[in-house]
Amino acid sequence: MEKFIVQGPCRLKGSVEISGSKNASLPILAATLLFDDVVELKNLPNVKDIYTMLSLLESLGSKVKINKQKKIIKIYKSKKIKTFASYNLVKTMRAGILVLGPLIAKYKQAITSLPGGCSIGARPVNHHLNSLKKMGMKYFIKKGYIHAKVDKTLTGNLIRLPKISVGATENLIIASCLAKGKTIIKNCAIEPEIKDLSNFLIKAGAKIRWIGKRTVEIIGVKSLRSISYNVMGDRIECGTFCVAAALTEGNLKIKGFNPKLINTELNILKQTGAKIQLKKDEINIKGNNIIKNIKHIKTKEYPAFPTDLQAAFMVLLCKAKGRSIISENIFENRFMHVAELRRLGAKINTKKNKAFIEGNTKFEGAELMSSDLRASVALVLAAVTAKGKSIINRIYHLDRGYENLEKKLSKIGAKIKRIS
């Protein structure tokens, strides 16, 4: 099993190019099931979850051609389409459930495994199922599989999601594109990745219109046309490198991402003392020698502070002068990195969904164990700023969502290598 060896402390300087967004690419890839003609996608990240989704599409009958060098993927429809999404492909990746909507919309039936992914909380799929049921889908669950069908075609309806859900919003938008009549979805998630999915579908001829902050209207069409589309940059990777600069008294030029999309995170970094200059698709960020504490960060749905950057910001606040609090309001099991940060010397106490961080930590290198995708990168950040050698095990979690992380970090001054 592969692991990282990190020798710290390091100061990070130079420039970083942000990869394509994993969280935008996955629903867009699922949406290609709606098409009869070829779809070309550019700027997909070279990460494990993307290849898992491509394998899932191939198992359903899509033909995939990959140009890794140019980061271009072409997806063709074969004549033999299957509607069975196997557990073996869906178990490692939450986004596997996103094939349910397009399969039901296009082929009127699906047998889909209940999904897997990181063990950070329950994340039930009932919002997906109940909403699609309102559009005419019938289903039952047996032996871990959702058996779904629709008699004639999905029919548009007024749907109010009882809870803001990224996955359910994506599944409904995709399915509604080929549904009969008008669908209005209220209480939607509005993450930039969802807007990217909408833009992709609109370019292909879907009739999608945002008619309120969290309301979207979709009028079904008979088919979508062949297109080429450039996926947005990765918001969480961008935020991670911003934290890395602030944490190490670094000086980074972060390219290939629109700073307006991480306004909340950049404002918090400014409060910690980081100096930030913004250009169109570039962030210049310098870390201060004194990191100021933040009284209270609360994770919440976009445009508030993202749960996916909670672990990285916790590392930063460990080095701050004074006490900080983080409340995790999205997932109930997302403090698994706390025990590992304590191994490096962090002073963190947790009570229910709150983490109390004492600050002024002088991290000392240690052997560590990754528990999930976002916790993994937090441990890498902590190791980069720790005194001495750290070993980070189970980095397969990290490979699901970060492209060439050790190469990008090495280029800007981190002493990190991957070993088997």
Structure tokens, 173: 């938008």
Category of 345 on φ-ψ map: left (φ > 0), alpha (ψ -120 to 50) or beta: left
Rg (CA), the chain: 22
Under 8 Å CB-to-CB from 28, ≥6 apart: which residues? 41, 196, 197, 200, 229, 231
| Crossing angle of the two packed helices 166-176 and 22-31, in degrees rounded to 10 | 30
Structure tokens, 20: 């394509």
Residues identified as active-site: 118
Structure tokens, 55: 């394998």
Under 8 Å CB-to-CB from 329, ≥6 apart: which residues? 298, 299, 300, 307, 353
Other CB atoms within a 10 A radius of the CB of residue 63 amount to 12
Tell me the DSSP string of 250-299.
-EEEEESS-GGGGHHHHHHHHHTT-EEEEETTEEEEE--SSPBP-SEEEB
Q: Which helix (H) or strand (E) holds 16?
A: strand 13-17
Other CB atoms within a 10 A radius of the CB of residue 78 amount to 11
Q: 75, 57 in Cβ contact below 8 A?
A: yes
User: Which one, of 289, 418, 410, 364, lies nearest residue 8 by Cα?
Assistant: 364
Distance separating alpha carbons of residues 220 and 237, to the nearest angstrom: 34
Distance separating alpha carbons of residues 125 and 346, to the nearest angstrom: 35
Q: Do the strands 388-393 and 3-8 form a parallel or antiparallel pair, or are they unpaired?
A: antiparallel
Tell me the DSSP string of 130-161.
HHHHHTT-EEEEETTEEEEE-SS--B--EEE-
